[in-house]
Structure 1
Amino acid sequence: MPAIKNDPKTINAWCTYDWANSVYSLTITTAIFPEYYYGVTKNEATHNMVDFFGYAISNSVLYSWSVSMVFFIAAILSPFLTSVADYSGLKKTFMKVSCYVGSAACAALFFFHAGNVEFGILAFVLAGVGYSSSLVFYNSYLPEIATEDQYDRISAKGYTWGYIGSVLLLIINLMVLQFHKKIGITESLAAQLSFLTVGIWWFVFGQISFKGLPDVVLSVKKGNMLTNGLYELKKVWVIAMKLPLLKRFLIGFFFYNMGVQTVMYLAPIFAKDVIKIESAQLIATILLIQLVAIAGAYALNKVSQKTGNSKALIYGVIIWIFVCAGAYIVQPGLSFYLLAASIGFIMGGVQSLSRATYSKLIPVNTTDHASFFSFYDVTDKLSIVAGTFTYGFVFWMTGDMRNCLIVLGVFFIISLFFLRQIPSKQVYNTQMPE
Structure 2
Amino acid sequence: MTGAGGAEGPGGPRASASAGPEGDGATEPGGALGPAAERAARRREQRGWYFYDWANSVFSTSVLTVFLGPYLTSVAEAAADASGYVHPLGIPVRAGSYFAYAVSASVLLSVLVMPLAGAMADRSGRKKPMLGAFAYLGAAATTGMFFLDGDRYLLGGALLVVANVCFATAAVVYNSFLPQIATPDERDAVSSRGWAFGYAAGSLVLVANLALFLGHESLGVTEGTAVRICLASAGLWWAVFTIVPLRRLRDRPVLARRFPTGGADGVEPDAVPSASAPLRGGLRQLVRTLRDLRRYPLTLLFLAAYLLYNDGVQTVITQASVFGSRELGMDQTTLIGAILLVQVLAVVGALSMGRLAARYGAKRTILGSLVAWTATVGAGYVLPAGAPVWFFVLAAAIGMVLGGTQALSRSLFAQLVPPGKEAEYFSLYEVSDRGTSWLGPLVFGLAYQFTGSYRDAIVSLVVFFVLGFVLLTRVPVARAVAAVGAPAPERI
Pick the TM interval, shorter chain.
0.7 to 0.9
CA deviations on 1:142-180 (whole Å, 9 max, x unpaired) are 111111111011111111111122222122212212322
Matched, 1:370 2:405: no
Give the secondary structure class of the aligned counterpart of 2:306.
helix
Question: 2: distance between equivalents of 1:109 and 1:73?
Answer: 20
1:234–1:415 CA distance, 2 compared to 1 (3 A): farther
After TM superposition, give the deviation of residue 183 of structure 1 in Å.
1.0
Question: 2: distance between equivalents of 1:116 and 1:188?
Answer: 13
Contact 1:112 1:119 (8 Å CA) reproduced: yes
| Corresponding position of 1:55 | 92
Higher relative contact order (CA 8 A, sep 6+): 1
Matched, 1:89 2:142: no
Q: Summarize the alignment of residues 410-425 of structure 1 with structure 2, pairs less than 5 Å apart.
A: 410-423=463-476
1:100–1:397 CA distance, 2 compared to 1 (3 A): farther
| Corresponding position of 2:112 | 76
Contact 1:307 1:424 (8 Å CA) reproduced: no
Give the secondary structure class of the aligned counterpart of 1:367.
coil
Matched AA of 1:300 = M
Question: 2: distance between equivalents of 1:32 and 1:280?
Answer: 14
Q: Summarize the alignment of residues 88-127 of structure 1 with structure 2, pairs less than 5 Å apart.
A: 88-113=124-149, 115-127=151-163
| Corresponding position of 1:301 | 354
Percent identity at matched positions? 29
Question: 2: distance between equivalents of 1:359 and 1:210?
Answer: 21
Matched AA of 2:272 = K
Q: Identify which of 48, 52, 74 aligns with 1:17.
A: 52
Matched AA of 2:219 = I
Give the secondary structure class of the aligned counterpart of 1:148.
coil
After TM superposition, give the deviation of residue 40 of structure 1 in Å.
6.2
1:341–1:10 CA distance, 2 compared to 1 (3 A): same
Matched AA of 1:14 = W
| Corresponding position of 1:67 | 103
CA deviations on 1:100-128 (whole Å, 9 max, x unpaired) are 12112212222335734443333223211
Contact 2:370 2:465 (8 Å CA) reproduced: yes
1:56–1:83 CA distance, 2 compared to 1 (3 A): closer
Contact 1:311 1:424 (8 Å CA) reproduced: no
| Corresponding position of 1:172 | 208
Larger displacement relative to structure 2 (248-257 or 409-418): 409-418
Give the secondary structure class of the aligned counterpart of 1:383.
coil
Question: 2: distance between equivalents of 1:58 and 1:387?
Answer: 24
Matched, 1:354 2:409: yes
Matched, 1:286 2:286: no
CA deviations on 1:362-388 (whole Å, 9 max, x unpaired) are 24xx22222222222222221325445
Larger displacement relative to structure 2 (136-145 or 170-179): 170-179
Give the secondary structure class of the aligned counterpart of 2:151.
coil
Question: 1: distance between equivalents of 2:116 and 2:206?
Answer: 34
Larger displacement relative to structure 2 (192-201 or 50-59): 50-59
| Corresponding position of 1:340 | 395
Q: In angstroms, what is the RMSD of aligned CA positions?
A: 3.2
After TM superposition, give the deviation of residue 413 of structure 1 in Å.
2.0
Contact 1:68 1:388 (8 Å CA) reproduced: no
Give the secondary structure class of the aligned counterpart of 2:315.
helix
Question: 1: distance between equivalents of 2:320 and 2:194?
Answer: 24
| Corresponding position of 1:29 | 64
Question: 1: distance between equivalents of 2:464 and 2:304?
Answer: 11
Question: 1: distance between equivalents of 2:398 and 2:101?
Answer: 23
Matched, 1:249 2:302: yes
1:393–1:209 CA distance, 2 compared to 1 (3 A): farther
Matched AA of 1:89 = G
Question: 2: distance between equivalents of 1:112 and 1:234?
Answer: 39
Max radius of gyration: which structure? 2
Question: 2: distance between equivalents of 1:191 and 1:354?
Answer: 34
| Corresponding position of 1:324 | 377
Greater share of residues in helix: 1
Contact 2:122 2:420 (8 Å CA) reproduced: no
1:128–1:390 CA distance, 2 compared to 1 (3 A): farther
Matched AA of 1:432 = V
1:113–1:320 CA distance, 2 compared to 1 (3 A): farther
Q: Summarize the alignment of residues 256-275 of structure 1 with structure 2, pairs less than 5 Å apart.
A: 256-272=309-325, 275=328
Give the secondary structure class of the aligned counterpart of 1:95.
helix
1:58–1:264 CA distance, 2 compared to 1 (3 A): farther
Matched AA of 1:310 = K
Matched AA of 1:146 = A
Give the secondary structure class of the aligned counterpart of 1:430.
helix
CA deviations on 1:21-59 (whole Å, 9 max, x unpaired) are 11111111223334545666789xx9x976463535483
**Structure 1 unaligned regions, length at least 5:** none
Larger displacement relative to structure 2 (207-216 or 151-160): 207-216
CA deviations on 1:63-93 (whole Å, 9 max, x unpaired) are 4454333222111001221233333333211
Larger displacement relative to structure 2 (380-389 or 344-353): 380-389
Question: 1: distance between equivalents of 2:166 and 2:54?
Answer: 16
Give the secondary structure class of the aligned counterpart of 1:411.
helix
Q: Identify which of 134, 137, 140 aligns with 2:170.
A: 134
Q: Identify which of 165, 177, 187 aligns with 1:151.
A: 187
Question: 2: distance between equivalents of 1:163 and 1:385?
Answer: 24
Contact 1:64 1:391 (8 Å CA) reproduced: no
Question: 2: distance between equivalents of 1:99 and 1:80?
Answer: 16
Give the secondary structure class of the aligned counterpart of 2:278.
coil
State the TM-score, normalizing by the size of structure 1: 0.86
After TM superposition, give the deviation of residue 133 of structure 1 in Å.
0.7
